[in-house]
Structure 1
Amino acid sequence: MRYFFNCKPTLLPTFILLVLSSQTMAKETNKNFEHIAIFGDQNTVNDIPGSAHLISESELEKFDFTDIMRTLTAIPGVYILEEDGYGLRPNIGMRGTGQNRSEKVTIMEDGVLAAPAPYAAPSAYYFPTAGRMQQIEVLKGTSSAIYGPRTTGGVINLLSRKIPDETLSGELKVTAGEDNFAKFHAFAGGSGQNIASLVELFNYQADGFKNINHTNTDSGFEKNDILTKVKINSDPSSGYYQELEFKVKYSDEKSNDTYMGLTDNDFKTSPYSRYSASQLDNMTTTHKQLQINHSVKFSELYQLGTSFYYNDFARNWYKSNKIDGQSIGGEGIKIASNFDKANQETPLEVQIKANNRNYLSKGVQSILSADLNEHQVKFGIRYHQDEMDRYQWVDKYLLDNNYIISLTDPGIPGTDSNRVDSAKALAIYIHDEVSYNDFMINLGLRYEDMTIERHDWGKNDPKRGISPSYKVNKLDVWLPSVALTYRFDKDIVLLAGIQKGFAPPAPGNETAQDEESINYEMGVRLNKQVFHGEIISFYSDYNNMHGNCTASQGCEDDNVGNQYNAGEVKVTGLELKTGYEFKNVSFSIPLDFTYTYTQTEFLTDFNSNLDTWSNVSKGDNLPYVPSNQFQLSTGLVFEQWRSDVIIRYTDDMRTTAGTGTIPSEQLIKSRTVVDLSAHYYLTKNQGVTFAVDNLLDNEYISTRTHGSIMVGKPRTFSLGYKYQF
């Protein structure tokens, strides 16, 4: 893997000097224009022909979540699967796509692809640090058709902090909580006439809420994030106004995380425990990013935005894989459970796999926007390359009757999984927004040309000295979309759309099929002063849905990476979001309600070794898609303080495809989780925050995807302080 640069804290003084030097320059306002955002503000969202939501900075600050999944439950049609309790491994799906590692959703940061290898290996073991984001944009259905490569479910675009318009401004936030949770977030930046800059630091950590049996090892984590931006712009009086922005980011993580969950009996008696066999399980990551954005305004009618991006991500998830030769997705969990309950004389053999992988993602993209009166035209092009380099091994340990684990047989790197999956893709799209009286027609066409390859050296050539086996899959696809909005009056908009959905095939199989669907939506949107609401029905008609076997789903070693085709699948649903703000002279009460109803159905019979599908019969429902889920948020806002509460409900879910009554061993029971946050403003620029996650201390199963039970985070308290300047 090529390391493009090393971002170290020693660079920070340079950027701080840039920030301070900008104070000597006269500030110029109203000159910024961006192409990294999909839409700019809430008013723009209201005119988008399809499901589109903006989570603003003020909304994010209410609860100040570091867990992206807790944030996204405010959006209808979005499904999440918690895993570690802190949002380190997000599992996000949209409109029934499936949530496994967010692989069916297009994840972007500042308008560019953010997954480690979006085409070759989309499973998002890396996810942008949600706690430092300033806004989040979410698109589904026809609204997301021009973004790819995955267009069936939707798009999440996380927007990092903009450089402040002020000469100098910044913020400092510190938070402490239970389980030694701590968060430090600070930024400073400023703008002058021709140069602007920003430095942002983000750190959060905890000891974890799980206790590892018979050990002193904690189940916690630490994550660091450093972001710097420098922007240079021409004089406003120049012939073609231009901006050039450099964004450099470094992040790392150490987390004592595992795939080992609990048996049903252990969940009932000790839900926040972990087996001693998992005491060495650990994930280490580093992520380095360079993004260069250039914008030029040729005239009031034509603008061009271009981004170059380079992401280098390395990770090694060193985790228990087999117990006494048995997979943890099978009998291994029961063996680990029984060992912790009895002081046995016979030691336990624990195989720990080094899931060592390096990722590279890079590309360049441009968007030309043209304002042609009745036609608002966008033409976009992107050339992208990515790869995943798997270089793994297995170490063998003995766990003795004192629960001390010792290395007995170190593995040789490259003797487990030893391959490179890579992809090259050219994407071109054109989008025309046509206005005619109260009608607006959106016509889109996207073209993708992809080459997806695998070079596999097997398990007997760790030095990669001989020619690897080689498989390639070449394909191209045309993806049209049509959407229509009709403004019934100034407050009510009717909308409808149809688009072709797509997801690329997995590498390693030259006959693997891509995923294709035809997606429909229809609804109405209302915005009137203090009331807003929308209701949208959707229907996704899959010609072929595919599922990729990953370790995160509990798949056996030899099966990881294989793709299974489900054929025809039908997903239907209803999304509702409405809000109202009651205002009084001295206080206000905001109300917001989000609801999603979903029905899924396989339309063909087939057999697979994908744990969550297994053997499917026509009429079976998809796993991990609740029929009903809703969220109600409300608060009480005064001039000097405010308090907000979220009530989040998720219906019963099945963990394996099926129909009718869900067997107990395949059931995730419905749950209601309540979060509370309160802010008190000491002065105009400083305040304190008190927050409680899972206020009612509900013990619940979050997922069974690893062949055992992973538990949701219990009630936790935190207290924070914020200072702005």
Structure 2
Amino acid sequence: MTKHTIIKKSLLAAAVIIALPQAQAADDKQDIEHISIISHHDKLRKEAGSATLLSEAQLAEYEYDDIHRILSNVPGVNIREEDGYGLRPNIGFRGVTPERSKKITIMEDGVLIGPSPYSAPAAYYFPVPTRMTAVEVFKGPAAIKHGPQTVAGALNLVTRQVPEFTEGGIDVAVGSDGYTKAHGYYGSVVNNVGFLFEAVNLQADGFKELDGGGDTGFEKNDILAKFNYKLSQGGYDHTFGLKLSYADELSDETYLGLTEEDFAQNPYRRYAASQPAEMDTKHSQIMLSHILDGNGVNVTTRLYRNDYERAWLKLNGVGAKGGASLSKIIANPESFANEYGVITGARDSVVAGSNIFLNMGTNDREYFSQGLQVDANSNLTMFGLTHDISVGVRFHEDEIERKHFEQAYAMENGISTLIEGSKQFTSLNTENTKAWSVYIEDKVQLDALTLGMGLRGELMDMSYQDNKDADVWIDKTTRIWLPSLSGFYQLSDDAGLLFGVHQGFVPSSPLQDPDIELEKSVNYEFGGRFNDGVTQFEIVSFFNDYENLNESCGQSNCGVNDQQDQQFSGGEVDVYGLEMQFAQRYPLNLQIDIPYSLTYTYTKGEFQNERATTFAQWGYIKAGDELPYLPSHQATFNIGLAASDWKVNVAVKYISEMSEAAGRSTEDFELVLEGAEVPNTTIVDISASYELGRYGQVYAKVDNLFDETEIVSRRPYGARPGKPRQFSLGYKYQF
């Protein structure tokens, strides 16, 4: 038996032996029916799988706008930072690649919200967390109801619900680096018709210093309108709903980072070549819903349509086609002194005997996703046993149309200027998917044991069309069934054990090499919960056994132009680890409490075979090589002081070092970041608030209190920092 096998089995055994689950007793007064999936506290506690709820009160503690910072309080989440503001989140669960959150299922109010979750799951659009009232995370068998990505789990963002009485509020804030927030909502009921209007504006000038001057920040707008109508008939309650939303973003973002030497001198510098960089996006959603509830049956029907368009202008390369990649130039500036000089603005593009121009690419894309989704739940008794049966069916269609082009820019006197007439299209294609998804889960009560048996089906028809050549057309059909088994054993009113096993799956593009197997895994988890009303504790061990791990090369994670959109196979991979949550509230005296909590994750991901790849993150891998961008240890410790009219909270977040490449170079392929590591980081955030009674609340916060400036990533083109220290001061008023 190998050392790694012993470690894996020890972790699984340890969780079963020492884990104690949360209490099962549910108080109807604690009902949180505004949550669309976890509808009661007792459902959260009895989940026969890992489920975490962050409530509206928890989200308000630090007033985060960045989903990365919010999810630091959820165990089992691994992220890769990029721009410092969380504009393009990179989120993974239990060791899956965090790249563009493409291997987790992302939902808003229980509906797929990614631009094209089947055809192109990279989530370049992400809802503004500021307007969310809850965040739900499902891992293990708890995620079997939510697909198509089921190897890791699902993330559901819950928007504000239409109120039953008149209510509203405002939230405004200002801060360093030109940061401002304006958020307001108002809702009421008129003649049995409820309505809600909500709007958010977020903006900042940015914290980077652009050579030649200019902003490096962003502006985001998000508008939401909801309407509902309720009636009762024949013993059933009906709720008819309409949801309309619109969001846009204009951000001065780039993939271009810095050389190691330049980062050491000024981590917040941005090279002159990135002056024209800009991301311009627009997103809209319309959703019609109907909820039927009564006589032990609940049926929710949703009809939805999402449209998203984006155009991102950024630096793709320097010089002639086929020359050195940007990643090689930034990694070895001495070997490419002329190209590096043009990028930094120290050298003009046109000099005697040598012309070196900037290739600026605009990835212009249009997406849509639409579908009809029905979810039903019923409690019934058969053969003397209580059954909680959930079933669902969804027809979904999504599409991405790529209209990518490049233009040449000339560097002159430190200014990057467009060369008119240089536009050339590089990618013109369309991918489309039509998919039926079905699931059924039956939770059977056997004395103290709740046993859940589930099955999910994904039936997909995918197509690819090259819009430059009508003869290039690819069709792909995938039919897969994913079983799950889970259980929760109640030891006492305060404690119990959970366990589960399920089949995981990630859809693949029709462009994937047919010789590459689908990505599938068998996932196991064991653990438990404890909650006696004072102490809450949960610990879960997991082991994900991948038959075949696949990865694709995108510009954000690869940096090798001739690998774009290629799929690579890593073969068998094992990912295992331990997740833990602990929370208590200690009364210091009759007036002041000390709430504190700890979230900890240990994760290990290892390739199980030897193979030579040309993928920029893998290279030549051997058995035992670790997955890149996966820290072994992550921890968040929160502690505060809370009185009736004021509170102070401190969050300390630690992430251990993580490698940026799994393997090593070969004679045929040079791994640019071989041996490179993202260093460990410890970030401290602090927030405080004071209640003004009927006049509202004031709050202040400092993100990155000690102004840590470590590298958060070197992909795709050089070292980039996280957000520096940011102060902000805000005011809230609710009625």
The question of a shared fold, defined as TM-score above 0.5 by the shorter chain, is answered with yes
- Which amino acid is 1:220 matched to? G
Residue equivalent to 2:290: 294
- For 1:376-407, what per-residue CA distance to the aligned partner results, in whole angstroms no more than 9, with x for missing partners? 1011000110111001110101011x212222
Asked if 1:172 is matched to 2:175, the reply is no
d(CA) in 1 for partners of 2:536, 2:471: 58
> Alpha-carbon deviations, 1:429-465, whole Å to 9, x = none?
10101111111001100111111211113xxx3xxxx
Alpha carbons 1:471, 1:509 under 8 Å: kept: no
**Does the 8 Å contact 2:702/2:728 carry over to 1?**
yes
Give the CA deviation at 1:290.
0.6
Quick check: 1:635 aligned with 2:630?
A: no
- Report what 1:359 is aligned to: 367
Aligned residue for 1:3?
none
Q: Which residue of 2 aligns with 1:398?
A: 410
2:520–2:547 CA contact under 8 A, matched in 1: yes
Distance 1:482 1:341 in 2: 56
Q: Give the match for residue 251 of structure 2.
A: 255
**Partners of 1:518 and 1:118 in 2: how far apart?**
22
Alignment length, in residue pairs? 681
Structure 1 match to 2:237? 241
Identity of aligned residues (%): 38
Residues 453 and 681 from structure 1, CA distance in 2 versus in 1: closer, same or farther, beyond 3 angstroms?
same
Partner of 2:5: none
Q: Name the counterpart of 2:732.
A: 722
**Partner of residue 491, structure 1:** 494
Shift of 1:329: 2.3
**1:145 Cα offset (Å):** 1.4
Residue 346 of structure 1 and its aligned partner are, at CA, apart by: 5.0
Q: Closer, same or farther in 2 for the Cα pair 1:92/1:667, shift >3 Å? A: same
Contact 2:33 2:40 in 1 (8 A): no
Q: What one-letter code is carried by the residue in structure 1 that aligns with 2:707? A: D
**What letter matches 1:113 in structure 2?**
L
Partner of 1:54: 53
Secondary structure in 2 matching 1:331? helix
User: What is the distance in 2 between the residues matched to 1:447 and 1:421?
Assistant: 22
CA–CA separation in structure 1 for the residues paired with 2:267 and 2:710: 9
Give distance in 2, aligned partners of 1:317 and 1:43.
Answer: 45
Bigger Cα displacement from structure 2, 80-89 vs 558-567: 558-567
Query: 2:234 and 2:624 mapped to 1: Cα distance?
Result: 64
Give the corresponding residue for 1:85.
84
Letter in 2 for 1:608: T
Aligned pairs (5 A) from 1:279-678: 279-297=275-293, 299-325=294-320, 326-331=324-329, 334=333, 337-339=340-342, 343-344=346-347, 347=350, 348-373=356-381, 374-400=386-412, 402-412=413-423, 415-457=425-467, 461=468, 467-509=470-512, 511=514, 512-583=516-587, 584-658=589-663, 666-678=676-688
Task: Name whichever of 344-353 and 216-225 sits farther off.
Answer: 344-353
Relative distance call for 1:279 and 1:427 in structure 2 (3 A) is: same
Is residue 466–residue 472 contact of structure 2 (8 Å, CA) maintained in 1? yes
Deviations along 1:318-340, one digit per CA (max 9) or x if unpaired, are 10111224432222673565447
Q: Please give the secondary structure, in 2, of the residue aligned with 1:589.
A: strand
Amino acid at match of 2:419: T
Does the CA-based 8 Å contact 1:449-1:477 persist in structure 2?
yes
Q: Match of 2:224?
A: 227
C-alpha distance in 2, partners of 1:34/1:55? Answer: 14
Asked if the contact 2:273/2:344 (under 8 Å) is kept, the reply is no
Structure 2 residue runs of 5 or longer lacking an equivalent are: 1-28, 351-355, 665-671
CA distance in 2, matches of 1:296, 1:379: 15
CA contact (8 A) 1:602 1:618 kept: yes
- The separation in 1 between residues aligned to 2:593 and 2:32, in whole angstroms, is 34
Residues 525-574 of structure 1, C-alpha deviation per residue, up to 9 Å, x if partnerless?
A: 00011110011100000001110111111343332211111111000100
State the distance in 1 between where 2:674 and 2:265 align: 17
Deviates more, 1:225-234 or 1:404-413: 404-413
Amino acid at match of 2:544: S
- With normalisation by structure 2, the TM-score equals 0.90
What is the DSSP-based 3-state SS (H/G/I as helix, E as strand, rest coil) of the residue aligned with 1:73?
helix
Relative contact order (C-alpha < 8 Å, sep 6+): which is higher?
2
Q: TM-score, normalised by structure 1?
A: 0.91
What secondary structure, in the 3-state scheme, does the structure 2 residue paired with 1:134 have?
Answer: strand
Query: Secondary structure, in 3 states, of the residue corresponding to 1:697?
Result: coil
3-state DSSP of counterpart to 1:59: helix
By how many angstroms is 1:36 displaced? 7.2
Equivalent position of 2:162 in the other structure: 163
Q: Contact 1:275–1:337 (CA<8 Å) still a contact in 2?
A: no
**What is the distance in 2 between the residues matched to 1:408 and 1:155?**
45
Please name the residue that 2:699 is paired with. 689
What amino acid maps onto 1:718 in structure 2?
S
Q: How many angstroms apart in 2 are the aligned matches of 1:238 and 1:705?
A: 60
Q: Distance in 2 between matches of 1:525 and 1:44?
A: 13
Q: Partners of 1:478 and 1:398 in 2: how far apart? A: 54
Give 1:207's aligned residue: 205
In structure 2, do the counterparts of structure 1 residues 682 and 423 end up closer, same or farther at CA, with 3 Å as the change threshold? same
Per the TM alignment, residue 664 of structure 1 is displaced from its structure 2 partner at its CA by: 8.3
Separation in 2, partners of 1:36, 1:127: 19
- Report deviation, 1:302: 1.6
Q: Alpha-carbon deviation of 1:238? A: 4.9
**Contact 1:573 1:596 (C-alpha < 8 Å) held by counterparts:** yes
Which amino acid in 2 is paired with 1:558? D
Q: CA RMSD in A?
A: 2.0
